[in-house]
């Protein structure tokens, strides 16, 4: 009986790790992307050129894996956030977009599949 309880607990724990934490899924990405200073602050955090706040750190911690795995563990909201962030950065600061791309995908293997996955 104890074995079944432990097994059930492990299954529940593993099931809870299928997605990244949804804690910041309510991020107002439209406001962020429309604010050049905020967009730059997030970029600086992601490329280690500036400090990160708690929310930025949460996203930054998951960003490498999310990029490499095509956002497989992203919630629906996180896919929208990443899609809008990357599109905004690409449109408003293309040089920064390329720096971000080089940092997280230096071999140019992941961004194509990622962009399709979050489209």
CATH topology of domain 27-117: Antennal chemosensory protein a6 (1.10.2080)
Give the Cα separation of 117 and 119 in Å (integer). Answer: 6
For the chain, give every domain's residue range: 27-117
Distance, CA of 60 to CA of 42 (rounded, Å): 9
pLDDT digits (tens, 9 = 90+) for 51-69: 999 999 999 999 999 999 9
Q: Phi and psi dihedrals of 79, rounded to 5?
A: -65, -45
pLDDT, position 13: 46
Least confident of 7-11, 43-47, 70-74, 86-90: 7-11
Q: CA 61 from chain center: how many Å? A: 8
Q: Residue 88's closest CA among 24, 21, 41?
A: 41
């Amino acid at each position: 009986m104890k074995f079944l309880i432990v097994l059930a607990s492990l299954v529940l724990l593993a099931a809870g790790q299928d997605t990244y934490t949804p804690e910041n899924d309510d991020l107002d990405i439209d406001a962020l992307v429309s604010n050049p200073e905020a967009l730059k602050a997030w970029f600086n955090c992601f490329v280690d050129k500036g400090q990160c706040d708690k929310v930025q750190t949460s996203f930054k911690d998951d960003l490498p894996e999310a990029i490499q795995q095509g956002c497989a563990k992203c919630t629906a909201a996180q896919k929208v956030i990443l899609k809008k962030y990357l599109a905004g950065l690409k449109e408003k600061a293309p040089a920064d977009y390329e720096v971000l791309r080089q940092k997280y995908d230096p071999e140019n293997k992941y961004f194509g599949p990622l962009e399709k996955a979050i489209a």
